[in-house]
Amino acid sequence: MKEKEKYKLSGQVVGKMPTDPPTVPPREHFRRALPHYQQPGQAYFLTIMLSGAIPKKALADYSQKLELITDNLKFLKDKPKRLAEYQQMRQEYYLFSKKYRKAYDDLLDNQKIGIVNLAKKANTEIIKNALLYWEGKRIENYAFCIMSNHIHWVFRTFEKDFEEKPVYLQEIKHSVKSFSANEINKLENRTGKLYHDEDFDTTIRNDKHLYSAIKYTILNPVKAGLVEHWHDYPGTWISNEWMEVWECRHPADK
């Protein structure tokens, strides 16, 4: 099978979600230590984690470095004469955020106890329904993996939804996190915040980056020592077309 430049998925909408979140107009905004680039039609590699899953001081050095880079990006953003410097600083951000992600994910994999277990069957089903709900209407899902204290999710937002409105990352995150948190809290007989306010979202730059993000996502349970083969983990999902791409590259995995 030849790999395609663009992958289309006609998934099935499942579950029942609450009303749409309010429209969030900015295409680029900076929040806490991480700049977030939002643009309709963009693909993302997103990590959502439980509240308290990582100690506040655990990544202090990384956060300080990212905050410095973020401040520089803010300063250079509206200075056309320094465009080359701005682009270089963005590249530095992407490279450093890659190191940050590894440290971030290593800590998540090592923290076994959380306020709830997202990998519990009933909780996993709630999250799956939420992640797949907007499929074909506002997003295209590529892959996701639901671990005990975090979720890896690779997807693309449509440029416009079924109502011809632009689709922004923040709206999708709000919808999925709000719905799944409410349902899991009811199931677990608890109240309060379920997820960490800040998510780790990376803009997918090209097809190679997209494949790497999907590979990282589905192999997370293997890396954590939970299963020997990624397809044996019940919280892992991959689109049909990306499954074909994976099997093409890894024929022994069929």
Q: What pLDDT, in 10s, does the model give residues 41-63?
A: 899 999 998 987 776 666 566 66
CATH no., domain 41-54+115-253: 3.30.70.1290
Q: Taking the domains of the chain in order of start, what are their residue ranges?
A: 41-54+115-253
What pLDDT sits at residue 17? 54
Give CA angle at 173 (170, 176), nearest 5°.
150
CA dihedral for 227, 102, 109, 182, sign (positive or negative): negative
Residue 154 has pLDDT above 70, yes or no: yes
Q: What angle, 0 to 180 degrees and rounded to 10, lies between the N-to-C axes of helices 240-249 and 207-223?
A: 80
Residue 85 has pLDDT above 70, yes or no: yes
pLDDT in tens, 8-42: 333 333 344 544 443 433 334 334 443 445 677 89
Q: How does residue 214 score in pLDDT terms, banded at 50, 70 and 90?
A: very high
Give the number of other Cβ atoms within 10 Å of residue 148's Cβ: 22
What pLDDT sits at residue 91? 79
The one-letter amino acid code at 110 reads N
Cβ(115)–Cβ(121) below 8 Å = no
